[in-house]
A and B are shown apart, each in its own frame.
Chain A
Amino acid sequence: MNSKTTSWLFLLPAIAIYGFFGAIPIAQTFWISLTDQVGIPPGNFIGLQNYVELAQDEYFINSLKNTGIWVACFLVVPNALAITIALLVKRTFWASGAIKTVFFLPLALSFAIVGVIWSWIYEPGVGLLDQLLTAMGLDFLIVEWLGPYAGNFSVIAAAAWRQTAFATVVFLAGLSAIPQELIEAAKVDGATRRQLFFRITLPLLKPASTIAVSSALIHALLATEIVLTMTRGGPFGTTEVVGYRMYMETFWNYKFGYGAAIGVVVTMMTAVLVVPYVRRMAKAQEREWS
């Protein structure tokens, strides 16, 4: 048996499983999005009509807008917080084991759990947040957290809690990869704390930032499970996001064709936003191999 055949034999299980249950479905989704399929039985080919309808569907456009807010918030908040936390943990080295665990812990929780916990936090009056603010004399800050105005941001905050944990892991690893000598050299060169951060640390964190940013992008674009757990898109669709719309149109309204079209749109958005990251990763990999 020659060695090339052996290699393919080793690859066979992965290719078979992913091909049959993963790759073919991707192609099918594109096809279904061009039909008026309702439920499981195949529908009729209707061309791009689902997409035309989507462009005029105010529920969908509303969810698109909310997803935009998700992306904007997710790019900034968890990453900025995580860089701060990572720097602080790195500098105040004592007790960092326990402190790190506190910051990493949300990573172990599912979005279902995060949603349940944060729903209770946001509960009007009796919830953890309102009571905390009241105790601190800040009750004028209290709003209807999961109401029509704050709802989307409150759900984002819950998810950001978990995302921050992830980004902290990534940035801490990134910081550890920066040779201590470089930091010392910059100190000797006369850098202030601010200059040290913006001119040395941050540029050298680029690989970590790439990972943290792309992860934030994906989670913001797809945020389905947490919305499903916390608000089901309500009140009045103010917390609906595209991923959740897709789920609703498909598995509540049984409009499989229409849902598939939303799935395709989500995939396209992901592809456009994530391609730069994949390219950078591939470049790094190529350099490693050459």
Chain B
Amino acid sequence: MTQSDANTLVHQPTQGFDRGTLFERYEAKAAGVSQTLLLLVLAAVFFMPIAGSLLTSIRTVEDITVNGAWALPSSYEWGNLGIAFTKMLPYLKASLIITLPSVFGTLLVATMSGYALSRMRFQGRIWMFLVIVSLSFVPVHTQLIPVFKLMSNLGLHDTFTAQIIVHIMRHIPFAVLIMTNFFNTVPGELREAARIDGANEWTIFRRIYVPVARPAISALIVLEFTWIWNDLLWGLVLTQGAGKKPVTVGILAFEGEYEIAYNMIASGAVIAALPTLAVFLIFQKQFIRGMTMGSVKG
């Protein structure tokens, strides 16, 4: 073989070399393809309940019974959603009136507490932490009866106020936990610098720490909004008339009213789910951040 032959050989794809067994060479690629397929199948299965509900909500009952639940609509009955919306409107309003102050109250109280806890470097801080974590695990069943009684005695049964207070109470431990953990990551020099600049405690909190905590606060707002909006048990226990019931209770009443009109029930579900779904889709990043910051519930 001449020198130039050898050189050309080098730059051609070389033949006759050991390239490894077929298994060694294609294992990773085959695994990659099968994993992608499996993921797509799982995603499809996972999405089916939501897809089915959306589909059912815009069809007629006859269409469903004749053509089956998975057929495309023979006519698009957007009116179903309109009717559901009109019927659900009082409940949606009530949920909004309950949820917004609850979220605001929880955040206000928890941010203050988190700030205080993180700046108190006292001995046994770990016990305080333990207590808060434990409280965030307390089952609602331990508080239902006395709270129901207390609200009745205070004349707050069947009011928005009672529900707002209870939601704030229930969500304080978790929110305090998140805020404390967040403020613990803020260097103490920040407060010292502000004090040297002449700020008092409230100014430090309001002007320095609250703005610094924006990522944690925004994540908490999204999480708490979803959780409080989605509560059912307190809404059932603390209300009587339709006017004060949240939408989670409303959808059950709606379901009872329509019984086998599946299209209407699905419409109701879609309307009732819309607010939290929208918040979730718009603020997914904050939602996930909140969950991972100190996720103890879901």
Contacts and interface: CB of A to CB of B under 8 A. Distances in A.
A and B touch in the complex (CB under 8 A): yes
Interface of A: 1, 3-4, 6-11, 13-14, 17-18, 21-22, 24-26, 28-29, 32, 40, 81, 84-85, 88-89, 91-92, 99, 101-113, 116-121, 123, 126-128, 131-132, 135, 161-166, 169-170, 173, 193, 211, 214-215, 218-219, 221-222, 224-225, 228-229, 243, 246-247, 250-251, 256, 259-260, 262-264, 266-267, 270-271, 274, 278, 281-282, 285-286, 288-289
A79 to B, nearest CB: 12
A250 B145 contact: yes
Contacts of B152: 40
Nearest to A127: B69
Contacts of B248: 110, 112-113
Interface string B117-160: 10110000110011001110111111111111110110000000
Contacts of B125: 289
B168 interface: yes
A267 B52 contact: no
B139 A263 contact: yes
Given A110-B231, A117-B49, A215-B296, A11 B117 contact: yes
A18 B169 contact: yes
Contacts of A251: 236-237
Of the candidates B146, B172, B184, the one having the most CB atoms from chain A within 10 angstroms of its own CB is B146
A282 B133 contact: yes
B70 A131 contact: yes
B140 A120 contact: no
5 contacts: A6-B201, A14-B172, A127-B69, A263-B139, A266-B141
Interface string B261-291: 0100110110011001101110010011001
A110 B112 CA distance: 29
A267 B139 contact: yes
A173 B52 CA distance: 29
Given A17-B165, A105-B50, A166-B291, A113 B298 contact: no
The 9 A-B pairs with the shortest beta carbon distances in the complex, nearest first, are A110-B230, A166-B298, A25-B146, A108-B280, A10-B116, A28-B146, A173-B292, A263-B141, A112-B248
Given A88-B39, A128-B70, A215-B297, A116 B265 contact: yes
A21 B165 contact: yes
Nearest to A84: B42
Interface string B89-124: 000000000000000000011101101110110000
Contacts of B64: 126
B9 interface: no
Contact of A89 (B39, B144, B252): B39
Interface stretch (B14-22, B28-36, B75-83, B210-218): B28-36
B141 A246 contact: yes
Interface string B36-69: 1011001100111110110010000000110011
B229 interface: yes
A132 B56 CA distance: 14
A286 B126 contact: yes
B138 A26 contact: yes
B24 to A, nearest CB: 12
A40 B149 contact: yes
Interface residues on B, range: 35 or more
B176 interface: yes
Nearest to B231: A110
Given A8-B116, A88-B38, A112-B230, A120 B53 contact: yes
B72 interface: no
B46 A161 contact: yes
A123 B232 contact: no
Contact of B142 (A8, A26, A121, A164): A26
B210 to A, nearest CB: 12
A211 B296 contact: yes
A181 B273 CA distance: 42
B141 A222 contact: yes
Given A13-B112, A88-B35, A169 B233 contact: no
A104 B284 contact: yes
A260 B172 contact: no
A243 B176 CA distance: 26
B70 A10 contact: no
A126 B69 contact: yes
A211 B68 CA distance: 41
Given A26-B143, A88-B42, A132 B266 contact: no
Given A128-B52, A193-B31, A270-B138, 7 more contacts: A88-B35, A89-B39, A108-B273, A110-B230, A112-B252, A113-B248, A117-B269
Q: Which of B70, B170, B233, B268 has the most CB of A within 10 A?
A: B233
A262 B141 CA distance: 8
Contacts of A118: 49
B281 A101 contact: yes
B119 A7 contact: yes
B232 A111 contact: yes
B162 to A, nearest CB: 10
A231 B176 CA distance: 36
B196 to A, nearest CB: 15
A21 B248 CA distance: 23
A102 B64 CA distance: 25
B169 A250 contact: no
Given A18-B169, A267-B138, A282-B129, A10 B144 contact: no
